[in-house]
A and B are shown apart, each in its own frame.
Chain A
Amino acid sequence: MSEAIERLPRPKLQKPFFLSEVSSTVNVLAIIETIFHNLREFFTEIREGIRLPEKMRAMLVSSIVFLMLYGAVMGSTHSLWQALSSAVKLPVLFLATLIVCSPTLYFFNVLFGSNQSLTQNFCLILTAITVTAVLLLSFAPIVLFFLLTTSHYQFFKLLNVVVFAITGSIGVAFLSAGMRIVSAGGKEGAAARRNVVRFWIVIYAFVGSQMAWTLRPFIGAPSMGFELFRQLGGNFYANIFASIGEILGFVTVM
Chain B
Amino acid sequence: MSQTKPETSSRVDQILDLLLDALLERQKAREEGGFQPEEAPTEPTAAEPSAPPEPELLLEEAEVESPPPDEPLPPPAPVPAGQMGRTLFRLAVGLLLFVVVVNVPINRHGVSLARVMPDSAALIIRDGLLVKGENSDKVYVLQDDKLRWISSLEAFERFHYRWRDVHVVEDSFLDRFEKGRAVHVLLKCDGSPHIYRIEREQKRWIKDIPTFEAEGHVWEDVQFVSCQYLRNLPDGPPIPEDAGPPPQP
Q: Which of B86, B99, B169 has the most C-beta atoms of chain A within 10 angstroms of its own C-beta?
A: B99
Q: Are A252 and B167 in contact (CB under 8 A)?
A: no
Tell me how far the C-beta of A176 lies from the nearest C-beta in chain B, rounded to whole angstroms: 22
The yes or no answer to B96 lying at the interface (CB within 8 A) is: yes
Number of A-B contacts (CB under 8 A): 99
The CA-CA distance from A116 to B85 in the complex, in Å, is 29
The yes or no answer to B98 lying at the interface (CB within 8 A) is: yes
The yes or no answer to B121 lying at the interface (CB within 8 A) is: yes
Chain A residue numbers with a CB within 8 Å of B88 are 29, 32, 134, 137
Q: Are B98 and A144 in contact (CB under 8 A)?
A: yes
Chain A residue numbers with a CB within 8 Å of B117 are 148-149, 151
The yes or no answer to A36 lying at the interface (CB within 8 A) is: yes
Residue of A nearest to B170 (CB): A225
Tell me how far the C-beta of B81 lies from the nearest C-beta in chain A, rounded to whole angstroms: 7
The CA-CA distance from A254 to B91 in the complex, in Å, is 36
The CA-CA distance from A65 to B99 in the complex, in Å, is 14
Tell me how far the C-beta of A79 lies from the nearest C-beta in chain B, rounded to whole angstroms: 7
Q: Are A148 and B167 in contact (CB under 8 A)?
A: no
Q: Are B120 and A33 in contact (CB under 8 A)?
A: no
The yes or no answer to B164 lying at the interface (CB within 8 A) is: yes
The CA-CA distance from A30 to B87 in the complex, in Å, is 12
A224 touches which of B79, B96, B113, B168 (Cβ 8 Å): B168
The yes or no answer to A14 lying at the interface (CB within 8 A) is: no
Tell me how far the C-beta of B22 lies from the nearest C-beta in chain A, rounded to whole angstroms: 47
Tell me how far the C-beta of B93 lies from the nearest C-beta in chain A, rounded to whole angstroms: 10
Residue of A nearest to B86 (CB): A29
Q: A32-B84, A77-B120 are in contact. List 12 more A-B contacts (CB 8 A).
A: A29-B85, A30-B85, A72-B96, A83-B103, A137-B92, A144-B95, A148-B120, A222-B121, A222-B167, A223-B166, A223-B167, A225-B170
